Structure 1
Protein backbone atom coordinates (compact mmCIF):
# COMPACT_ATOMS: atom_id res chain seq x y z
CA UNK A 1 0.00 0.00 0.00
CA UNK A 2 2.78 2.45 0.86
CA UNK A 3 4.42 1.69 -2.51
CA UNK A 4 1.16 2.63 -4.26
CA UNK A 5 0.94 5.90 -2.35
CA UNK A 6 4.60 6.71 -3.06
CA UNK A 7 4.13 5.91 -6.75
CA UNK A 8 1.05 8.10 -6.90
CA UNK A 9 2.88 11.02 -5.27
CA UNK A 10 5.89 10.68 -7.56
CA UNK A 11 3.71 10.45 -10.68
CA UNK A 12 1.67 13.46 -9.56
CA UNK A 13 4.78 15.56 -8.98
CA UNK A 14 6.22 14.51 -12.35
CA UNK A 15 2.92 15.28 -14.07
CA UNK A 16 2.70 18.75 -12.59
CA UNK A 17 6.38 19.37 -13.35
CA UNK A 18 6.00 18.37 -16.99
CA UNK A 19 2.79 20.39 -17.29
CA UNK A 20 4.44 23.44 -15.76
CA UNK A 21 7.45 23.10 -18.07
CA UNK A 22 5.14 22.86 -21.08
CA UNK A 23 3.20 25.90 -19.90
CA UNK A 24 6.42 27.87 -19.45
CA UNK A 25 7.64 26.92 -22.91
CA UNK A 26 4.28 27.86 -24.44
CA UNK A 27 4.32 31.13 -22.49
CA UNK A 28 7.72 32.05 -23.91
CA UNK A 29 6.45 31.34 -27.43
CA UNK A 30 3.39 33.53 -26.73
CA UNK A 31 5.64 36.29 -25.40
CA UNK A 32 7.68 36.29 -28.59
CA UNK A 33 4.51 36.34 -30.69
CA UNK A 34 2.96 39.12 -28.57
CA UNK A 35 5.28 41.57 -30.32
CA UNK A 36 3.61 40.69 -33.61
CA UNK A 37 0.19 42.21 -32.78
CA UNK A 38 1.93 45.47 -31.85
CA UNK A 39 3.76 45.48 -35.19
CA UNK A 40 0.58 44.70 -37.12
CA UNK A 41 -1.55 47.11 -35.14
CA UNK A 42 -2.23 49.08 -38.30
CA UNK A 43 -3.58 45.97 -40.06
CA UNK A 44 -6.97 46.06 -38.22
CA UNK A 45 -7.25 49.74 -39.05
CA UNK A 46 -6.54 49.02 -42.72
CA UNK A 47 -9.08 46.18 -42.66
CA UNK A 48 -11.66 48.48 -41.08
CA UNK A 49 -11.02 51.14 -43.74
CA UNK A 50 -11.34 48.63 -46.56
CA UNK A 51 -14.57 47.25 -45.06
CA UNK A 52 -16.00 50.80 -44.91
CA UNK A 53 -15.56 51.04 -48.66
CA UNK A 54 -17.76 47.99 -49.19
CA UNK A 55 -21.38 48.85 -50.02
CA UNK A 56 -22.93 46.53 -47.43
CA UNK A 57 -22.59 48.38 -44.12
CA UNK A 58 -24.32 45.60 -42.19
CA UNK A 59 -21.56 43.10 -42.95
CA UNK A 60 -18.71 45.56 -42.38
CA UNK A 61 -19.81 46.40 -38.82
CA UNK A 62 -19.79 42.77 -37.63
CA UNK A 63 -16.15 41.97 -38.61
CA UNK A 64 -14.96 45.15 -36.86
CA UNK A 65 -16.51 43.92 -33.60
CA UNK A 66 -15.01 40.48 -34.04
CA UNK A 67 -11.54 41.86 -34.82
CA UNK A 68 -11.71 44.25 -31.85
CA UNK A 69 -12.80 41.35 -29.65
CA UNK A 70 -10.18 39.01 -31.02
CA UNK A 71 -7.39 41.49 -30.36
CA UNK A 72 -7.57 41.10 -26.57
CA UNK A 73 -8.10 37.33 -26.88
CA UNK A 74 -5.01 36.98 -29.09
CA UNK A 75 -2.79 39.50 -27.30
CA UNK A 76 -3.37 37.84 -23.92
CA UNK A 77 -3.12 34.29 -25.27
CA UNK A 78 -6.71 33.26 -24.46
CA UNK A 79 -7.05 31.53 -27.82
CA UNK A 80 -4.16 29.25 -26.92
CA UNK A 81 -6.62 27.22 -24.81
CA UNK A 82 -10.10 28.58 -25.60
CA UNK A 83 -12.32 29.15 -28.63
CA UNK A 84 -15.26 31.50 -28.91
CA UNK A 85 -17.22 29.79 -31.66
CA UNK A 86 -20.13 32.26 -31.64
CA UNK A 87 -17.63 35.02 -32.55
CA UNK A 88 -15.85 32.76 -35.07
CA UNK A 89 -12.68 32.78 -32.96
CA UNK A 90 -10.98 29.41 -33.25
CA UNK A 91 -8.43 28.52 -30.61
CA UNK A 92 -7.24 25.63 -28.52
CA UNK A 93 -9.35 22.80 -27.22
CA UNK A 94 -7.72 22.57 -23.78
CA UNK A 95 -10.13 25.02 -22.19
CA UNK A 96 -13.88 25.26 -22.73
CA UNK A 97 -15.48 27.26 -25.53
CA UNK A 98 -16.23 30.69 -24.08
CA UNK A 99 -19.36 31.41 -26.14
CA UNK A 100 -21.61 31.02 -23.07
CA UNK A 101 -19.08 32.07 -20.41
CA UNK A 102 -20.82 35.38 -19.76
CA UNK A 103 -23.83 33.54 -18.35
CA UNK A 104 -22.15 30.38 -17.07
CA UNK A 105 -19.20 31.72 -15.03
CA UNK A 106 -21.28 33.05 -12.14
CA UNK A 107 -23.13 29.74 -11.77
CA UNK A 108 -19.92 27.72 -11.98
CA UNK A 109 -17.52 29.92 -9.98
CA UNK A 110 -19.82 31.98 -7.74
CA UNK A 111 -18.87 35.42 -9.02
CA UNK A 112 -19.65 37.56 -12.07
CA UNK A 113 -17.36 37.30 -15.09
CA UNK A 114 -15.63 40.64 -14.51
CA UNK A 115 -14.74 39.69 -10.93
CA UNK A 116 -13.66 36.20 -12.03
CA UNK A 117 -11.30 37.73 -14.62
CA UNK A 118 -9.64 39.80 -11.90
CA UNK A 119 -9.44 37.00 -9.28
CA UNK A 120 -10.24 33.58 -10.76
CA UNK A 121 -11.43 30.82 -8.45
CA UNK A 122 -10.19 27.97 -10.66
CA UNK A 123 -6.63 26.77 -10.12
CA UNK A 124 -5.75 26.79 -13.83
CA UNK A 125 -7.05 30.29 -14.50
CA UNK A 126 -5.47 31.63 -11.30
CA UNK A 127 -2.08 30.57 -12.62
CA UNK A 128 -2.74 31.95 -16.08
CA UNK A 129 -4.08 35.31 -14.91
CA UNK A 130 -1.32 35.78 -12.34
CA UNK A 131 1.25 35.21 -15.09
CA UNK A 132 -0.42 37.70 -17.43
CA UNK A 133 -2.81 39.95 -15.48
CA UNK A 134 -5.49 41.89 -17.33
CA UNK A 135 -5.95 45.63 -16.99
CA UNK A 136 -9.41 46.93 -16.12
CA UNK A 137 -9.84 47.98 -19.76
CA UNK A 138 -8.89 44.49 -21.00
CA UNK A 139 -11.28 42.87 -18.52
CA UNK A 140 -14.07 45.11 -19.82
CA UNK A 141 -13.18 44.23 -23.44
CA UNK A 142 -13.35 40.51 -22.61
CA UNK A 143 -16.64 40.91 -20.71
CA UNK A 144 -18.19 42.94 -23.54
CA UNK A 145 -17.04 40.42 -26.16
CA UNK A 146 -18.30 37.45 -24.16
CA UNK A 147 -21.61 39.20 -23.50
CA UNK A 148 -21.97 39.65 -27.26
CA UNK A 149 -20.98 36.01 -27.79
CA UNK A 150 -23.63 34.78 -25.37
CA UNK A 151 -26.33 36.74 -27.17
CA UNK A 152 -25.65 35.09 -30.54
Structure 2
Protein backbone atom coordinates (compact mmCIF):
# COMPACT_ATOMS: atom_id res chain seq x y z
CA UNK A 1 0.00 0.00 0.00
CA UNK A 2 2.68 2.62 0.87
CA UNK A 3 4.49 1.79 -2.41
CA UNK A 4 1.37 2.46 -4.46
CA UNK A 5 0.81 5.81 -2.69
CA UNK A 6 4.42 6.80 -3.32
CA UNK A 7 4.14 5.69 -6.96
CA UNK A 8 0.98 7.73 -7.38
CA UNK A 9 2.58 10.84 -5.90
CA UNK A 10 5.68 10.50 -8.09
CA UNK A 11 3.57 9.96 -11.22
CA UNK A 12 1.35 12.92 -10.37
CA UNK A 13 4.36 15.21 -9.88
CA UNK A 14 5.93 14.02 -13.13
CA UNK A 15 2.62 14.44 -14.99
CA UNK A 16 2.11 18.00 -13.76
CA UNK A 17 5.74 18.84 -14.50
CA UNK A 18 5.59 17.49 -18.05
CA UNK A 19 2.22 19.17 -18.64
CA UNK A 20 3.48 22.48 -17.31
CA UNK A 21 6.62 22.26 -19.46
CA UNK A 22 4.48 21.54 -22.52
CA UNK A 23 2.29 24.57 -21.87
CA UNK A 24 5.36 26.74 -21.26
CA UNK A 25 6.80 25.70 -24.63
CA UNK A 26 3.44 26.20 -26.37
CA UNK A 27 2.96 29.56 -24.64
CA UNK A 28 6.38 30.81 -25.76
CA UNK A 29 5.51 29.93 -29.36
CA UNK A 30 2.29 31.98 -29.07
CA UNK A 31 4.15 34.94 -27.57
CA UNK A 32 6.87 34.81 -30.22
CA UNK A 33 4.30 35.09 -32.99
CA UNK A 34 2.70 38.16 -31.41
CA UNK A 35 5.67 40.27 -30.35
CA UNK A 36 4.49 43.32 -32.30
CA UNK A 37 1.61 45.13 -30.62
CA UNK A 38 -1.56 45.44 -32.65
CA UNK A 39 -2.44 48.95 -33.73
CA UNK A 40 -5.63 50.20 -35.29
CA UNK A 41 -5.24 53.03 -37.78
CA UNK A 42 -7.71 55.87 -37.59
CA UNK A 43 -8.60 57.30 -40.99
CA UNK A 44 -9.48 60.99 -40.87
CA UNK A 45 -10.75 63.10 -43.71
CA UNK A 46 -8.97 66.36 -44.48
CA UNK A 47 -9.52 69.34 -46.70
CA UNK A 48 -7.04 70.88 -49.13
CA UNK A 49 -4.85 72.61 -46.52
CA UNK A 50 -4.31 69.32 -44.64
CA UNK A 51 -6.33 70.32 -41.59
CA UNK A 52 -8.84 67.78 -40.37
CA UNK A 53 -12.35 68.28 -41.61
CA UNK A 54 -14.78 69.43 -38.95
CA UNK A 55 -17.76 67.22 -39.60
CA UNK A 56 -19.46 64.56 -37.52
CA UNK A 57 -17.65 61.71 -39.29
CA UNK A 58 -14.30 63.14 -38.10
CA UNK A 59 -15.56 63.25 -34.52
CA UNK A 60 -16.46 59.56 -34.79
CA UNK A 61 -13.01 58.80 -36.22
CA UNK A 62 -11.34 60.38 -33.18
CA UNK A 63 -13.13 58.03 -30.78
CA UNK A 64 -11.49 54.62 -30.36
CA UNK A 65 -13.69 51.81 -31.52
CA UNK A 66 -14.82 49.14 -29.11
CA UNK A 67 -12.87 46.63 -31.18
CA UNK A 68 -9.57 48.51 -30.81
CA UNK A 69 -10.10 48.99 -27.06
CA UNK A 70 -10.89 45.29 -26.69
CA UNK A 71 -7.85 44.37 -28.74
CA UNK A 72 -5.54 46.58 -26.68
CA UNK A 73 -6.88 45.28 -23.35
CA UNK A 74 -6.88 41.65 -24.40
CA UNK A 75 -3.31 41.68 -25.77
CA UNK A 76 -1.96 41.08 -22.24
CA UNK A 77 -3.94 37.82 -22.05
CA UNK A 78 -2.10 36.60 -25.13
CA UNK A 79 1.38 37.89 -24.30
CA UNK A 80 1.35 36.42 -20.78
CA UNK A 81 0.15 33.03 -22.04
CA UNK A 82 -3.31 33.07 -20.42
CA UNK A 83 -4.86 31.97 -23.71
CA UNK A 84 -2.74 28.81 -23.68
CA UNK A 85 -5.20 27.33 -21.19
CA UNK A 86 -8.16 29.75 -21.07
CA UNK A 87 -10.53 31.34 -23.54
CA UNK A 88 -12.55 34.53 -23.12
CA UNK A 89 -15.66 34.01 -25.20
CA UNK A 90 -17.17 37.42 -24.37
CA UNK A 91 -14.15 39.06 -26.06
CA UNK A 92 -14.15 36.49 -28.89
CA UNK A 93 -10.78 35.15 -27.73
CA UNK A 94 -10.36 31.47 -28.35
CA UNK A 95 -7.73 29.75 -26.31
CA UNK A 96 -7.06 26.47 -24.62
CA UNK A 97 -9.74 24.32 -23.11
CA UNK A 98 -7.70 23.22 -20.09
CA UNK A 99 -8.77 26.14 -17.90
CA UNK A 100 -12.20 27.69 -17.52
CA UNK A 101 -13.50 30.49 -19.73
CA UNK A 102 -12.50 33.81 -18.14
CA UNK A 103 -15.49 35.85 -19.36
CA UNK A 104 -16.94 36.09 -15.83
CA UNK A 105 -13.70 35.79 -13.85
CA UNK A 106 -13.76 39.44 -12.78
CA UNK A 107 -17.03 38.94 -10.91
CA UNK A 108 -16.64 35.28 -9.86
CA UNK A 109 -13.05 34.89 -8.62
CA UNK A 110 -13.67 36.45 -5.21
CA UNK A 111 -16.59 34.15 -4.46
CA UNK A 112 -14.71 31.10 -5.69
CA UNK A 113 -11.24 31.79 -4.26
CA UNK A 114 -11.93 34.16 -1.36
CA UNK A 115 -10.04 37.19 -2.67
CA UNK A 116 -10.48 39.81 -5.40
CA UNK A 117 -9.04 39.09 -8.85
CA UNK A 118 -6.01 41.39 -8.44
CA UNK A 119 -5.06 39.68 -5.15
CA UNK A 120 -5.66 36.23 -6.65
CA UNK A 121 -3.25 37.06 -9.50
CA UNK A 122 -0.59 38.04 -6.93
CA UNK A 123 -1.08 34.95 -4.76
CA UNK A 124 -3.37 32.35 -6.35
CA UNK A 125 -5.22 29.98 -4.04
CA UNK A 126 -5.53 27.18 -6.61
CA UNK A 127 -2.69 24.69 -7.00
CA UNK A 128 -2.54 24.93 -10.78
CA UNK A 129 -2.52 28.72 -10.93
CA UNK A 130 0.01 28.89 -8.08
CA UNK A 131 2.36 26.78 -10.19
CA UNK A 132 1.73 28.72 -13.39
CA UNK A 133 2.05 32.20 -11.86
CA UNK A 134 4.88 31.10 -9.58
CA UNK A 135 6.88 30.16 -12.69
CA UNK A 136 6.03 33.41 -14.47
CA UNK A 137 4.96 36.09 -11.95
CA UNK A 138 3.04 39.14 -13.12
CA UNK A 139 4.14 42.70 -12.38
CA UNK A 140 1.66 45.08 -10.75
CA UNK A 141 1.17 46.77 -14.13
CA UNK A 142 0.48 43.43 -15.85
CA UNK A 143 -1.97 42.45 -13.09
CA UNK A 144 -3.85 45.71 -13.63
CA UNK A 145 -3.95 45.10 -17.40
CA UNK A 146 -5.35 41.59 -16.87
CA UNK A 147 -7.92 42.91 -14.37
CA UNK A 148 -8.96 45.65 -16.83
CA UNK A 149 -9.32 43.14 -19.68
CA UNK A 150 -11.37 40.73 -17.56
CA UNK A 151 -13.50 43.57 -16.20
CA UNK A 152 -14.27 44.52 -19.80
CA UNK A 153 -15.03 40.87 -20.56
CA UNK A 154 -17.56 40.70 -17.73
CA UNK A 155 -19.65 43.59 -19.10
Is the TM value for this pair above 0.5? yes
Change (3 A) 1:62 1:123: same
Deviations 1:62-84 (A, max 9, x none): 11111111211111111111111
Deviations 1:52-102 (A, max 9, x none): 67x594996111111111211111111111111111111111111000001
In 1, Cα distance between equivalents of 2:119 and 2:9: 34
In 2, Cα distance between equivalents of 1:11 and 1:130: 21
The count of residues paired between Structure 1 and Structure 2 equals 142
| Contact preservation (8 Å) 2:20, 2:132 | no
Change (3 A) 1:136 1:6: closer
Kindly report which structure 2 residues correspond to 1:95-134, keeping only aligned pairs within 5 A, or say none: 95-134=99-138
Specify which structure has the higher proportion of helix: 1
Q: Structure 1: where are the runs of 5+ without partners?
A: none
| Contact preservation (8 Å) 2:27, 2:84 | no
| Contact preservation (8 Å) 2:28, 2:81 | no
| Structure with more relative contact order (C-alpha pairs < 8 Å, separation 6 or more) | 2
Alignment partner, residue 12 of structure 1 = 12
The structural deviation recorded for 1:28 is 4.5
RMSD: 2.8
Kindly report which structure 2 residues correspond to 1:33-52, keeping only aligned pairs within 5 A, or say none: 33=32, 36-37=34-35, 40-41=36-37, 43-44=38-39, 47-50=40-43
Alignment partner, residue 51 of structure 2 = none
Computing the radius of gyration from Cα coordinates, the structure with the larger value is 2
